[in-house]
Structure 1
Amino acid sequence: LAIAQNHIGPSAYKQNDVIVALNGMTIEVVHTDAEGRMVLADTLTLTSRQKPDVIMDFATLTGSMHTALGDRMSGVISNRPALACQAVGAGVSSGERVVSFPFDEDYDSDLDSDIADIKQCTLEGGADHIHAARFMAKFIEHEVPWLHVDLSSYNRKEGLGAVQSSVNGFGVGLGLALIKQLLDQK
């Protein structure tokens, strides 16, 4: 379980700092509010070293996902197109709808750094949800299939289904439906 709380303190990193990740990659800190992907970087490395059949992460990671989709569904990005399609299907069956976003390598050049192996994000915004996924993928070892579910988009005051609150547990039903699909395939 990886949890980040964005608080300042004497050991906090600053913009333009270079951090060494668990896998040895150096990361240029571009924006201190992009702390979630920094925590996920080492978490994905640790998890992928266990060589699981699949990794799924659920995170309220990017505001650009909300900009892209509004508040009625959320997005997924995967290093395996078939896994992303399965997640979309699980979203339909669970009532927690998601859209699959591209995972193309041509977004990588936006994260090129002059002082480190990779930038943590860009300041230009735009496709930050895709940039975040491309960043996090650099920390997955052994080519483990991986799915990122960005939860930041779905936050409706009206709630979800029978849950009439913005605190609705979005992602639980989706995750369980997807796990069931994956287990049924075995």
Structure 2
Amino acid sequence: MQVAGYLFGIPAKGADPFAAGALPGLLPAGAYHLDGAPHPLSALAFALGTYRFTRYRSNSKGAVTLKLAPGDDAAALARTVEAVTLVRDLVNTPANDLGPADLEAAAAGLAARHGAHLSTILGDALLAQNFPLIHAVGRAATRAPRLLDLTWGDPAHPKVTLVGKGVCFDTGGLDIKPSSGMLIMKKDMGGAANALGLAHMIMARGLKLRLRVLIPAVENAIAGDAFRPGDVLASRKGISVEIGNTDAEGRLVLADALTLADAEKPDLLIDFATLTGAARVALGPQLPPAYTDDDALAADLARHADAQSDPLWRMPLWKPYLSMLDSKVADINNAGAGGFAGSITAALFLSRFVADAASWLHLDIYAWNPSPRPGRPEGGEAQTIRALDALLAERFGA
């Protein structure tokens, strides 16, 4: 590793724990090992730096692989790399090959691997079973909306539920996005991808918890039966929602899924969503906002985020801003008035649908690297799941 520092400009003791992740892009094909790695995360950084999304490429260069040194935890490294690779592959896949049915297939594959159970509520059955917001957002697409429900583990163990926004492509709906804003909207299912990635880590560890993963999988398309600005929609919880903007669709599908999750009174409820542009304006693409009223959870998560170099930043659930979601015709509006505090008001909207969970955490992730960094190539990315994996292992160890 010291030699690598001189040859490739990788500091032996640098500020970036992921510095070794630059090496796979600089080395010829072959198997390598790291001697005297300067940071505990160096092996992981190198392994994640070998990732390439080659599904659509006819020619790709030979592989760079890592040989683990004695003392490295091979199982832990494999578990993490598999989870991050799953997330990246799902997010990087274009929407023509990654629709709601394809997301369901990915969840089914994960369930089969770990002996979990997956059920699906499809199309108009969403209305019959009282998921009106999920149906409304997805009904205009030719690919039917659905709610995926994966369960695993001993029902007697503490309940941990993950909810992931699965908008497989987001046109913005009738409040259509400009072309520049639509270009990477294949990634709008990044919340679902990260939920599945964390689920893999939990099940592979065999943690002593009862896991549930809920994914509302839809496409926000434009057609004659698309939901409209000004519509008032029912929700599973019974809260009526005025549509201030059809491009604030993610919070709608999450609302119905969170209501279902909350009814079980889970010990910990976590949702992942590529929810707001406001989060990127506030904190940029590398630092997802985290919202919770549980101070102990926030402190523990921040500690693990720092240790794992998997950053996030706690933001306030500032209750006075709920008034920005007031509606004159319904219980709540889905889009805040005035354009202020967009990430906070989105989190506050979701909070209206969570009442009984012992603890709730909302993560407004980006799930995308706009430019490459060591160990973090351009494109789809896993965010916060390594920190959460460490936290859950601490709380619910096998």
Indicate whether the TM-score tops 0.5: yes
Counterparts of 2:357 and 2:229, CA distance in 1: 31
1: CA distance between counterparts of 2:388 and 2:236? 27
C-alpha displacement of 1:27: 0.5
Q: How far apart are residue 137 of structure 1 and its match? A: 0.7
Pairwise mapping of residues 110-121 of structure 1 onto structure 2 (< 5 A)?
A: 110-121=324-335
2: CA distance between counterparts of 1:10 and 1:81? 46
Residue 124 in structure 1 maps to residue 338 in structure 2: yes
1:42 deviates by 0.5
Q: Structure 1 73/114 Cα, relative in aligned 2: closer, same or farther at 3 Å?
A: same
The residue that corresponds to 1:87 in the other structure is: 301
Read off the aligned partner of 1:177 and give its amino acid letter.
A
**1:98 is aligned to 2:307:** no
1:8 aligns with 2:222: yes
Check if 1:150 corresponds to 2:361. no
The answer (yes or no) to whether the contact 2:291–2:347 under 8 Å persists in 1 is yes
Quote the Cα distance in structure 1 between the aligned partners of 2:344 and 2:308: 24
**Aligned mate of 2:392, from 156, 171, 179:** 179
SS where residue 219 of structure 2 aligns? coil
Normalising to structure 1: TM-score of the pair? 0.89
The amino acid that maps onto 2:378 is: S
List alignment gaps of at least 5 residues for structure 1: none
Relative to the length of structure 2, the TM-score reads 0.44
| Paired letter, 2:395 | L
Task: Specify the SS of the correspondent of 1:107.
Answer: helix
Shift of the alpha carbon at 1:143?
Answer: 4.6
| Candidates 249, 258, 262, aligned match of 1:48 | 262
Retained in 2: the 8 A contact 1:70–1:154?
no
- Structure 1 or 2, whichever has the larger Rg, is 2
Structure 1 partner of 2:284:
70
**Larger RCO, structures 1/2 (Cα 8 Å, 6+ apart):** 1
- Report the secondary structure of 2:291's partner residue: strand
Give the corresponding residue for 2:140. Answer: none
Residues 75, 153 of structure 1: 8 Å contact kept: no
Q: How many angstroms apart in 2 are the aligned matches of 1:170 and 1:49?
A: 27
> Number of matched residues?
183
Which stretch of structure 1 is more off in the superposition, 110-119 or 86-95? 86-95
Q: Relative to structure 2, which stretch is displaced further, 88-97 or 113-122?
A: 88-97
Listed as ranges, the gaps of 5+ residues in structure 2 are 1-214
What RMSD over aligned residues (CA atoms) do the two structures have, in Å? 1.8
Match in the other structure for 1:167: 380
Q: Percent identity?
A: 32
